Amino acid sequence: MNRNRPYSLAPRKKSLLVNNIFVVAAAILFGSSRRAGSFEMIMLGRLLMGISAGVSMNIQPMYLGESAPKELRGTVAMTSAIFTALGIVMGQVVSLRELLGGPQAWPLLLASCLVPGVLQLASLPLLPESPRYLLIDCGDRATCLAALQRLRGTTEVMVELAELEEERAACRGRRARRPWELFKDGTFRRQVISLVVLGSAMELCGNDSIYAYASSVFREAGVPEDKVQYAIVGTGCCELLTAFISCVVIERVGRRVLLMGGYSLMTCWGSVFTAALCLQSSFPWMPYLAMSCIFAFILSFGIGPAGVTGILATELFDQTARPAAYMVCGALMWTMLFLVWLGFPFLMEGLSHFFYVPFLGVCVCGAIYTGFFLPETKGKTFLEISEELHRLNFPGQSQGPMWRSPEVIRSTEL
């Protein structure tokens, strides 16, 4: 094991464990805010939860992708989308007026974030560290072998260990990338463009906006005011259902098909939704069509963009650049989400019933880019993906980078 690494990134599992400190602190602030009569405690708790969400949504898919075998990498990584959708549904359910959505129980509703934090604190110590981190970053072959055997439940892991050794050899002499260096390095040109284009498309496609618009559409369709909250729960269930379906089929149909299919269907249903909004005063059944389009749009989002986009940083970047790629991805995601929520009221006011047209343009661009420029990564090792991307970045060269003998890399750097 190399004890003289000049750069170091905390282990994936340890980072996730430490991250729960923010969750516990936020839950305490939320639960005590009403008794203390302090709205500042709620604001601070929200800040801490935002930090926790930003860290976990980057490190968790990286840990899962690095720990899974190549045949199940997409399925395992997609579980992040499943539990994100499950969290949305659970939040919608517990916020019902009959449960914790009443005026007396809201401190408990906010403090309920303590439950997943405690579950993670109890379960993570039972899991091994990422085998790739152990071997490629730390050079600890014995611990990596033990982690592989523990994860796979068998001692027959030498073929996979040999693939990791090849990947370790490929990283010889290459230091960790900083986030800004990814934009200047030609070897990551296609990867960075894909990450920026598809990461932005996921946030700008209008899914979050349609959640915000759903309640008013349901009221227009005649759903009683006291029943709208149950219809909102249905939207979350739609995303959960399709995230589960995508998790099952991703290794059969591939990433590109799910992304193109999702964005194409979103374009279709978003167009019908816009037409229904424009004609809702002309035909009495148009609000019902608009309500149906909301469910169909969310179902289409869950098919591909919701989960597949989060896998890109894991599969398109090598071990030296993956943490930096997730930092770029996380910063991009939250920035775009902030811009959407900031600009959405102005879109509604300025474009009226046509407010969804800009989102439709994003969906079209996402489908086109995926079809023409995103390589398929289904069933490929990280080395095979790197070789294909090298050929795409440098089409004049006949072969990918030359791999050398194994050597501990100068670990991934934050």
* pLDDT tens sequence across 130-144: 898 888 888 888 999
Q: How many CB atoms lie within 10 A of CB 228?
A: 16
Torsion of CA 133, 138, 144, 146, to 10 degrees: -120
Identity of the amino acid at 325: A
Distance, in Å, from the CA atom of 321 to the CA atom of 313, rounded to the nearest integer, reads: 9
pLDDT for 98 = 80
Q: What is the pLDDT of residue 221?
A: 66
The backbone region for 379, taken as left when phi is positive above 0, alpha when psi lies in -120 to 50, beta otherwise, is left
Q: Please report the pLDDT score of residue 412 as a whole number.
A: 44
Copy the structure tokens of residue 410: 């100068």
Instruction: Give the whole-angstrom CA distance, residue 292 versus residue 231.
Output: 11
12-393 maps to which CATH number? 1.20.1250.20
Q: Is 228 in contact with 215 (CB distance < 8 Å)?
A: yes
pLDDT of residue 185: 86
CB 402 within 8 A of CB 173: no
Find where tokens 């976990």 sit: 56
Those residues of the chain that have pLDDT short of 50 are 1-8, 400-414
What are the tokens at 172? 């010889």
The whole-number pLDDT of residue 368 equals 95
Q: Cβ distance 203 to 337 under 8 Å?
A: yes
**Per-residue confidence (pLDDT) for residue 405, from 0 to 100:** 41
- Give me the pLDDT at residue 1, please: 41
Structure tokens at 242: 């399709």
pTM across the whole model: 0.83
Contacts of 127 (CB under 8 A, 6+ apart): 13
pLDDT value at residue 353: 80
pLDDT at residue 372, rounded to an integer: 92
Q: Where are the domains of the chain?
A: 12-393
As a whole number of Å, the CA-based R_g of the chain is 23
